[in-house]
Amino acid sequence: MTQPTQQRTQISQSIMIGGVVTLVALIAAILLWSNKPTEQQKDIASTPETQAKDDHDEGKELALTSKQMAEQGVKLAVVAMGNVQQIESYPAKLMVNTDRQAHVSSSFSGRVEAVHVNLGQTVKKGQALATLRVPDLVDQQANLRIAEANLTLTQQDYQREQSLWSQGISAKQDYQRAYNAYQQAQVQVQAARSRLAAFGVGGNSHGQYVLTAPIAGVVSSKDIVIGENVQLASQLFVIDQLDQLWLEFVLPTDYLSRISPNQELEFKSLQTGNRFKARVQTLNAQADEQTGRLLVRAQVLSQAAELRPNLMVNIELQQTQQSQVIRVLKSAVQQVEGQDSIFIAQPHGDKIEFMPQTVSLGALSTDGQWVEVKQGLKIGQSYVGEGSFLLKSELEKGEADHGH
């Protein structure tokens, strides 16, 4: 190739390279310009709403003055160690106090003529319960009348012999004989009357025997109907005094050191949820061989119409004293974004700032007042004990406003 031809070729290559470089530079400039925000976009990005949203994303905070806190009922508390006491429940049963119960039975065999009370009826001491016709009673009352008639005759004989002996007409031995007969007749009458009185009947009942209430109370059992024949000592009525009931329950043997006579306990009705008090009376000296449990009997101290024999209740006993844990008031816990949270309080100028702190909770006290905090808080931190729901509402309201 000649010299002029080589020069022309080099010139053409230089022009092509220069064109390519120029084209690349032009494309880069166009791309850079298209990615640069406009002035309008800059204005939108810097609006107060957008800035507030950015600030909110950095941390959720609320602030109140002392006056505002007092007006809104927001009260502070301090994270501290304490007990989260829990209650254990055991089934129990209300029982009749057998020391205040009467079993009424007949002292004779006989036929029922009348029943004067109904099951569940309240009776007074001495009130008639039922009337029986008793053949044996007829015989005993007849014996009393015979003894009384014999007493009248022997008395007349004695008085006559006494008069004759005082006049010197009759011998002393006749007078003595009449006196002895009179004394025996008196004893026989007294014995017959005492026998009837022991059964609670008189001499003129004509074979009728009236069962009466030995105590005042409620007829809790009744096993008698008109026309039936009852046997001697058959239990016909049970009368209970329901103003003082017993509470019976069983406990594991490890409770022996935690319960003692005269200790007051609480029990709860399963029907109404109402709580009542009782005082421990007795504990069995030995545990049951099969269950290893102790039978405990307590006297019910509360008076209520709903407390009736055979009612099932729950006895409530405090658990063994546990080690202290970090605890807060249960009223302080709120759900923030689906997590348990406590509003931490920090001074900031003339205001108090509040920030929700996610926590991990543990046991809750049975009375619902305290809750254990396993993670998330430190001892000595100030938190919102009352009024945290208000802060949660304000926080959610702010989030809603930012959403718009």
| The most confident of 130-134, 194-198, 252-256, by mean pLDDT | 130-134
pLDDT at 226 exceeding the cut of 70: yes
Per-residue confidence (pLDDT) for residue 206, from 0 to 100: 72
CA dist 103 → 29, 95, 117 (Å): 113, 16, 15
pLDDT at 361 exceeding the cut of 80: yes
Partners of residue 293 on adjacent β-strands: 252
Give me the helices (H) in 128-260, please.
135-167, 172-198
Third-level CATH fold of 105-238: OB fold (Dihydrolipoamide Acetyltransferase, E2P) (2.40.50)
Range in 124-133, 215-224, 250-259 the model is least confident about: 250-259
Per-residue confidence (pLDDT) for residue 46, from 0 to 100: 36
Are the C-beta atoms of 303 and 245 separated by less than 8 Å? Answer: no
- The single-letter DSSP state of residue 264 is E
> Which residue has tokens 């022996």?
256
- The single-letter DSSP state of residue 146 is H
* CA-angle at 105, arms to 101 and 109, nearest 5°: 180
Per-residue confidence (pLDDT) for residue 30, from 0 to 100: 55
How large is the average pLDDT for residues 106-121? 91
Percent of the chain with pLDDT over 70: 77
Are the C-beta atoms of 346 and 357 separated by less than 8 Å? Answer: no
* Distance in angstroms (rounded) separating the CA atoms of residues 110 and 227: 10
Third-level CATH fold of 88-98+241-318: Elongation Factor Tu (Ef-tu); domain 3 (2.40.30)
pLDDT band at 290 (very low <50, low <70, confident <90, very high): low
Tokens of 13: 């290559």
pLDDT digits (tens, 9 = 90+) for 73-99: 999 999 999 888 777 788 999 998 888
Q: For residue 340, give the nearest of 358, 353, 354, 366 by alpha carbon.
A: 358
As a CATH number, domain 54-85+323-403 is 2.40.420.20
Per-residue confidence (pLDDT) for residue 122, from 0 to 100: 93
For the chain, helix (H) and strand (E) counts, in that order, are 7, 24
CA dist 236 → 71, 104, 223 (Å): 70, 6, 5
Domain residue limits, the chain: 3-36, 54-85+323-403, 88-98+241-318, 105-238
Per-residue confidence (pLDDT) for residue 160, from 0 to 100: 85
* CA-angle at 386, arms to 385 and 391, nearest 5°: 100
